[in-house]
Structure 1
Amino acid sequence: MDISEVAWNEPARAKILDDADRVLREAVRTVAQKNGISSDDAFAELNALLKDRFIDYQPGPDIRTYADAIAAGDFRDDAG
């Protein structure tokens, strides 16, 4: 077997992605509950909540998008 053949199977890959999305949603939900938070503060809080949950975490533009939406009060949480 060649080392390039070592990879997660599709069910495991899907679970990893689902788990990562859940962690992201939990962080966004937590920060979005803070009224009057600035985009920069929301961005910092999101990164603080996420940095230790992922290997080699680096914030991307999607985190800034969520921080901006939180600061603008554009988030709704239909799931509760």
Structure 2
Amino acid sequence: MNSTDIVWNDEARAKILDDSDRVLREAVLELSKTLEGHESDEAYEQLFARLKDRFIDFKPGPDIRKYADAIVAGDIAE
């Protein structure tokens, strides 16, 4: 077996992605209840803090900024 053959099967891969989407969604929804009208940087920092320890080798990308901006603008609907 080659090292490139060691991968998650499609079912496990889908579950991992679904779980990570759920973690992100829960963080965004929770923060949207308290940070509307605040500074986008504050929402970004709080999102980063909630997500960084939930993922292996977490590196924030533009999605975190997009959701932080939506939180403070009040653009999140449940």
Tell me the TM-score normalised to structure 1 length. Answer: 0.92
Structure 1 stretches of 4+ moved >2 Å: none
Cα distance in 1, alignment partners of residues 49 and 30 from structure 2? 12
The percent of aligned pairs where both chains have the same amino acid is 60
Q: Give CA deviations for 1:2-32 in whole Å, capped at 9, x if unaligned.
A: 1110000000000000000000001101111
RMSD: 0.8
Alignment pair present for 1:50 and 2:61: no
In structure 1, runs of 5+ residues without a counterpart are none
Counterpart in 1 of 2:13? Answer: 13
- Count, aligned residues: 77
TM-score, normalised with respect to structure 2: 0.94
